[in-house]
Structure 1
Amino acid sequence: MTAPIQLSIIFGTRPELIKLAPVILLGQQDPRFQIEVIFTGQHVELVRDAIDFFKIKIDQHLKIMHPGQSLNQLLIHALTQLEHTFNNGHPRDAIMVQGDTTTVLAGALVAFHMKLPIAHVEAGLRSYDLLHPYPEEGNRQLVSRLARWHFAPTQLSANNLLNEKIQPEDIFITGNTVVDAVYLAKEFIQASNLQPTQRLSALGIALNADEKLILITAHRRENFGEGILNICRAVKQLCERYPNLHFAWPVHLNPAVHDVVSDAFKDMPQVHLLQPLDYPNLLAILQHAHLIMTDSGGIQEESPSYQKPVLILRTTTERPEVLDVGAGVLVGTDTELIVSEATRLLEDTAYYAKRAYVKNPFGDGTAAQQILDRLALDLHHS
């Protein structure tokens, strides 16, 4: 019998874990693989709920975060601790990383220096603006130079890689594992004691039939300062214009966001300022929201699974498929544009339907299985 493939999967943040959870869980049930899960600790508090929700067993828990450290210091800690982990004598046939964080760059660099092949999940996303999103765009481009397998979520992502002279035989269009994660999470929630409406009530959000809810998230570095203030101004104008409109805003813990938002809405009951949400509660709000406002990449991908239009609080996106199918609109942090687009979605039912009821551009929920099948095929023949 062929020995199982030793696959080490590295993650550091909650979005990474959410998108890798379907691969981890399928891989652990697949006799072709022996899965090792390495958590760098880039997000500690924020990621714990997702670990518990998906019931992920962590094999190696690193601690790369230190107060006040720079991105370079974060990278140094990640490189040092991952190298130590990889030198523990445990055999590894391949390393898997997902996305665009410092953890991803560190994992890819250490694997490259140790001549271990790298599988990059969600490969090929590009804005081609190194400052938007920063530093993620740079991380993605760097990892693409090192990876052996490029698991692109869409044809557009694959085209980006081809244009960068990545070999066609190393690119595989699988869809995005976030769709797998949403399907999986819906099953877990349905089997749980807390259904979506109960989750909203527990968060203090109880709406009448004539009230509408907007989910808003904003946390990107490039929006700190005037950008966050402009977003707050837009929300205030919409609340004044629509007394039956409510906002659910899980506020990022970074003081550059938290302090500004808390001060702006301390006396506005239409704006529900929430602690960072666990994954099932986030999905419960996604399900009930009329529309989404976000600068998050992951929520841009999750919104089409719930057929909800998304106003993208960024000037560019590395997920242009959302724009191409009509599910999203780039509004940046332009107060007037945010208000006008939200108003149109709230008042023009035909326009809303055109934005909401689109085919999901990110796949059919089989990405994780496709990824594992490709790795098994290649590694059993290598």
Structure 2
Amino acid sequence: MHRPRLLVVLGTRPEAIKMAPVIAALRKRPQVDTRVLATGQHRTLLKQDLDVFGIVPDAEIAPTGAGGALDVALARLLTGIGSVIERKRPQRVIVHGDTLTALAATLSAHLRGVPVAHVEAGLRSGDLSAPWPEEGSRRVTGVLADLHFAPTAGAVAALRAENVPSDAIHLTGNTVADALRIVQARIAAAPGLTDAVAPVLARFAGRRIVTVTVHRRENHGVALARIAEAVARLAIREDIGIVVALHPNPAVAGPLSERLRGCGRVALVRALDYPAFVRLMAASALILTDSGGVQEEAPALGVPVLVLRDRTERPEGVAAGAARIVGTDPARIVAAASGLLDDPAALGAMAVVRHCYGDGRAGERIAAILAATPGRDPAALERR
């Protein structure tokens, strides 16, 4: 009997974390031939977290190169992914989210008549400039995909509003909940997995930890400088220690390091692997971030989040009272953070475990649907 061929394409750290549960669930199904293609969009960070989940790619393409024009990176991804599709001849390509890798894989597959399944489909900010370029990437993917795995009821509603057929939309929950549950269990069984973050936690023993992550392109430049200024102002507090997890992109790490180096209660740490970062989040009293993934993970850990953006495509955390949108104005950030840190009742009201984004079984749901909907008829592929 022919085994359906599926190709999972990923290239960034969030894709590795969020697709790991899907890959694991698919590989438990011997009736499906699941292959993984890793692009070079976030080469070092990607390998770091693929290793955490024990995923060895079946194919890889060369890195796109740091910095540079996005269209040049997209062109490299398009041709690289396309060549792998030609060799592997999958019946379906599976992508995640809103990255250049997801966009390129979707276009490469579509141009070869191979159907696309979209994991974490339906997220919408309503503004093509925020997040940029991700909002555009996810919208294009939403038009071309024929299977849409929506993480929340809001995402389902967004897809229906765009006239996606109801039978193509599946409410699955977000696979980040699966990944978080898996890693928490591994940390409990082997605490040494998080040793990388132990020194900074020891440095701030006795102080409340505020974790900061920034990386989105729309926050590069002036907005990033404003965020760094807010962090520097918060650092005068003697009751906290601020841990800034630096993204490897020089456009982010450089300005943050330049402004915050020398601030005595700020620790600048290189990008941590997922277990160490989960431990850092869990140890935090408050998180300041522009990351979508952190907005999903922190509520499940019971850690309040201040979102360093003007809008979010993940409104569930805000609606649940686990997150607040504060933008990038230094005064507003400092006021919001200080208000929570100075008011135990307000902080405690946000610091409640909330499972806004899934129950930890999304990967199995997605795998079951993919196994039952393998994609294009293999005979049709052979006739191309």
1:200 deviation in Å?
3.1
Residue of structure 2 in register with 1:363 after alignment? 358
Q: Deviations over 1:209-265 (max 9, x none)?
A: 3x100110111121122212211221222222x212111111123333222211222
Shift of 1:67: 4.8
TM-score, normalised on structure 1?
A: 0.94
2:157 pairs with 1:159:
yes
Aligned to 1:172: 170
Give secondary structure in 2 for the equivalent of 1:188: helix
Does residue 227 (structure 1) correspond to residue 226 (structure 2)? The answer is no
Worse overlay, 229-238 or 268-277 = 229-238
| Correspondence for 2:263 | 268
- Distance (whole Å) between structure 2 residues aligned to residue 130 and residue 286 of structure 1: 29
The answer for unaligned runs of 5 or more in structure 2 is 378-384
* 1:204 Cα deviation after fit: 6.3
1:298-322 CA distances to partner (integer Å, 9 max, x unpaired)?
1111111101110000011111111
Q: Which residue of 2 aligns with 1:60?
A: 59
For residue 192 of structure 2, give the secondary structure of its aligned residue in structure 1: coil
Q: Report what 2:72 is aligned to.
A: 73
Contact 1:131 1:137 in 2 (8 A): yes
Deviations 1:338-380 (A, max 9, x none): 1111112112222122222153110100000000111222339
- Rounded Cα–Cα distance in structure 2 between residues aligned with 1:195 and 1:20: 21
What TM-score results when the alignment is normalised by the length of structure 2? 0.94
Alignment of 1:11-90 (within 5 A): 11-88=10-87, 90=88
Q: Which runs of 4+ in 1 moved over 4 A?
A: none
Letter in 2 for 1:97: V
**Distance (Å, rounded) in 1 between the aligned partners of 2:144 and 2:138:** 10
Q: Identify if the C-alpha distance between structure 1 residues 194 and 71 changes in structure 2 by more than 3 Å, giving closer, same or farther.
A: same
Q: Matched residues in 1 for 2:127 and 2:46: separation? A: 28
Could you say which residue in structure 1 is the equivalent of 2:253?
A: 258
Deviations 1:19-45 (A, max 9, x none): 000111121122232110000111111
The unaligned stretches of length 5 or more in structure 1 are none
CA RMSD of aligned residues (A): 1.7
Q: How far, CA to CA, are the matches of 1:146 and 1:373 in structure 2?
A: 22
The alignment of Structure 1 onto Structure 2 pairs a total of residues equal to 377
- From 89, 105, 108, the counterpart of 2:106: 108
Distance across 1 between alignment mates of 2:112 and 2:376: 21
State the match for 2:380 in structure 1: none
Aligned residue for 1:35, secondary structure, equals strand
Larger relative CO (CA 8 A, sep 6+): 1 or 2? 2
Query: Would you say the 8 A contact 1:64–1:81 is kept in 2?
Result: no
Match of 1:262, SS state, is helix
Q: 1:69 to 1:289 in 2, by over 3 A?
A: same
Question: 2: distance between equivalents of 1:311 and 1:287?
Answer: 15
Q: Take 1:233 and 1:379, find their aligned partners in 2: how far apart are those partners?
A: 51
